[in-house]
């Protein structure tokens, strides 16, 4: 069969779906992956051995960097929804992740005035895929499937299923939301203009696919009523020539420190986290491999002698040689540790995930990113930046998952002293129970069907889905 994948053009979205694409291709299916091959991403896609389909002009900037780009919702609007829906504190945090963090990038590539969605629909109509497997943050894949008569499903990648999780809550409170002057379903309304352009009905199937392929473990998924096809997350990052020193037995316990891919291109500094961690490990009899770039090292005054900085080192190569992984709580950083049976320390804070507007602009400190446009995307906000929380949005749930299974601990680096951090690192590094917990997570991971093992299910579901179109 012909399978068309869509992917938001960023490495954190490409890495998880690549093994699915390889499995389909290895089973004899024709596979294409469509996205905006902008300058910062084109090489990434061609390196993984798949056939790319270029959407739009590769020389154009990403929509998020356009002068007419939209802006994330203001905190007051976020909380207005939370109040009407009666969300508890944890549900509110999930709502923030969905409404403040995801709706805007989802909307970027749904814009009917930009070429990406139209190019995707045109390609799908010509190529006639049997199955479209689409990234929820690159949602025109759903419209392209419907417009071309293909079966379609979502691939969640590194995110929780926030869109489906809130569908029923939004519908239950539709009348109250509309009475409060709020859009009853922001995701559906973001999809609607493009769908109507191609005569496609905006219904639950369009929004959430006929089923969903989910690579995150059961203990971290959100409960929804959408059909799910679990798949093992196979860690992947761009292959690099093997470093000889990685395969020499370390003379001291080796610790990996990784803060992920999401913000390393755009955010300077690390909220004071890295300097504190470096101070904590400086006098320990360990070897630390810190996969940090110059932005992430901004503000670091001294790199200890026992720390080796490697701007880029694939975690699937590094982690099997390590005794501990300290990281920021992103899925793409946590899952390789699970696959390598390595105990984890997940750095987190007690603050909310809420983005807040910081003025005046020009502050180059950690956690400041530009916010160039008003809520409706129509007018610039003079001298404004977003102040980011000092943690990854997935950190609370990954720290809970790791801790629950005894495979590591949560580190609140803001409230803990250097001495407390040092003791925590030593406790996890030398604690037999944490290694047993890491083994347990690895067993759960191995028990999940591999990408190759779900191919027959994808074939069957596609045939069954054809009968419903």
Confidence (pLDDT) at 241: 83
- Give the β-pairing of 385-387 and 368-370: antiparallel
CATH superfamily of this structure's domain 244-354+389-447? Glycogen Phosphorylase B; (3.40.50.2000)
**CA–CA dist 349, 304 (Å, integer):** 25
CATH 3.30.70.20 fits 2-232+450-466, yes or no: no
Half-sphere exposure at residue 270, Cβ-oriented, CA atoms within 13 angstroms: 28
**CA–CA dist 94, 75 (Å, integer):** 14
Instruction: State both tokens at 378.
Output: 């129509």
Parse the chain into domains and list their residue ranges: 2-232+450-466, 244-354+389-447
**CA–CA dist 234, 181 (Å, integer):** 44
Q: What φ, ψ does residue 231 adopt, rounded to 5°?
A: -145, 145
Who contacts 109 (Cβ-Cβ below 8 Å, separation ≥6)? 8, 36, 63, 116, 117, 138, 139, 140
Half-sphere exposure at residue 48, Cβ-oriented, CA atoms within 13 angstroms: 25
Instruction: Give yes or no for a contact between 273 and 290, defined as CB atoms under 8 angstroms apart.
Output: no
Reported pTM: 0.92
**CA–CA dist 128, 111 (Å, integer):** 23
Confidence (pLDDT) at 375: 31
Confidence (pLDDT) at 361: 45
Note the pLDDT tens digit of each residue in 406-434.
999 999 999 999 999 999 999 999 999 99
Q: What is the DSSP letter of 220?
A: G
DSSP string across 35-64: E---TTTHHHHHTTT-EEEE-S-TTSPPGG
The maximal CA–CA distance of the chain, rounded, in angstroms, is 66
Rounded alpha-carbon distances, angstroms, from residue 49 to 5, 21, 23, 31, 118: 14, 10, 12, 11, 25
Buried b (16+ CB within 10 A) or exposed e, 182-201: beebbbbebbeebbeebebe
Half-sphere exposure at residue 319, Cβ-oriented, CA atoms within 13 angstroms: 26
The closest of 281, 311, 282, 306 to 296, measured between CA atoms, is: 311
**CA–CA dist 289, 306 (Å, integer):** 9
Residue in this structure with the two tokens 């720290």, named with its chain if needed: 399
Confidence (pLDDT) at 415: 97
pLDDT tens, N- to C-terminus, the chain (469 residues)? 999 999 999 999 999 999 999 999 999 999 999 999 988 787 888 888 899 999 999 988 888 888 888 889 999 999 999 999 999 999 999 999 999 999 999 999 999 899 999 999 999 999 999 999 999 999 999 999 999 999 999 999 999 999 999 999 999 999 999 999 999 999 999 999 999 999 999 999 999 999 999 999 999 999 999 999 999 999 998 877 888 898 888 999 999 999 987 777 667 788 889 999 999 999 999 999 999 999 899 889 999 999 999 988 999 999 999 999 999 999 999 999 999 999 999 999 999 999 988 765 444 445 555 444 333 333 333 345 788 899 999 999 999 999 999 999 999 999 999 999 999 999 999 999 999 999 999 999 999 999 999 999 999 999 999 876 5
Instruction: Give yes or no for a contact between 412 and 348, defined as CB atoms under 8 angstroms apart.
Output: yes
DSSP string across 366-407: TTEEE--S-TTSSS--TT-EEE--SS-TTHHHHHHHHHHTTS
Instruction: Give yes or no for a contact between 285 and 263, defined as CB atoms under 8 angstroms apart.
Output: no
Instruction: Give yes or no for a contact between 333 and 358, defined as CB atoms under 8 angstroms apart.
Output: no
How much is the CA Rg of the chain, to the nearest whole Å? 22
Note the pLDDT tens digit of each residue in 170-190.
999 999 999 999 999 999 999
The closest of 68, 86, 103, 96 to 183, measured between CA atoms, is: 103
């Amino acid at each position: 069969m012909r399978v068309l994948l869509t992917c938001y053009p960023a490495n954190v979205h490409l890495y998880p779906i690549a093994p699915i694409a390889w499995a389909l291709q290895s089973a004899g299916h024709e596979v294409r992956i469509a996205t905006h091959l902008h300058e910062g991403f084109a090489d990434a896609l061609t390196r993984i051995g798949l056939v790319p389909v270029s959407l739009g002009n590769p020389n154009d900037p990403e929509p998020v960097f356009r002068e007419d780009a939209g802006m994330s919702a203001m905190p007051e609007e976020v909380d207005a929804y939370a109040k009407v829906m009666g969300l508890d504190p944890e549900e509110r945090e999930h709502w923030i992740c969905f409404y403040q963090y995801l709706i805007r990038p989802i909307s970027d590539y749904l814009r009917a005035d930009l070429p990406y969605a139209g190019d995707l629909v045109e390609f799908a109509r010509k190529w006639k895929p049997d199955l479209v497997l689409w990234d929820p943050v690159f949602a025109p894949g759903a419209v392209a499937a419907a417009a071309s008569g293909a079966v379609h499903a979502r691939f969640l990648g590194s995110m929780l299923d926030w869109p489906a999780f809130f569908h029923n809550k939004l519908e239950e409170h539709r009348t109250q939301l509309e009475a409060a002057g709020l859009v009853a379903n922001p995701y559906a309304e973001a999809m609607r203009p493009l769908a109507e352009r191609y005569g496609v009905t905006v219904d639950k199937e369009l929004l959430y696919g006929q089923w969903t392929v989910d690579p995150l473990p059961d203990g971290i998924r959100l409960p929804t009523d959408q059909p799910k096809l679990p798949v093992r997350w196979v860690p992947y990052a761009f292959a690099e020539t093997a470093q000889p020193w990685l395969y020499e037995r370390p003379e001291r316990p080796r610790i990996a420190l990784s803060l992920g891919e999401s913000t390393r291109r755009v955010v300077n500094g690390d909220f004071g986290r890295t300097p504190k961690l470096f101070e904590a490990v400086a006098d320990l009899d360990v070897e630390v491999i810190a996969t940090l770039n110059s932005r992430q090292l901004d503000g670091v005054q001294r790199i200890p002698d026992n720390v080796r900085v490697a701007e880029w080192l694939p975690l699937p190569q590094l982690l099997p040689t390590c005794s501990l992984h300290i990281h920021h709580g992103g899925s793409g950083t946590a899952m390789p540790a699970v696959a390598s049976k390595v105990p984890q320390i997940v750095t987190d804070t007690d603050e909310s995930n809420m983005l807040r507007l910081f003025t005046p602009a020009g502050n180059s400190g950690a956690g400041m990113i530009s916010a160039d446009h008003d809520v409706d995307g129509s007018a610039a906000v003079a001298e404004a930046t977003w102040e980011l929380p000092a943690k990854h949005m997935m950190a609370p749930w990954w720290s809970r998952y790791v801790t629950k299974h005894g495979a590591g601990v949560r580190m609140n680096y803001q409230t803990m002293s250097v001495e407390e951090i040092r003791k925590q690192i030593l406790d996890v590094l030398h604690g037999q129970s944490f290694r047993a917990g890491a083994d347990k997570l690895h067993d759960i991971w191995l028990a999940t069907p591999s990408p190759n093992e779900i191919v027959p299910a994808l074939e069957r579901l596609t045939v069954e889905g054809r009968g419903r179109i």
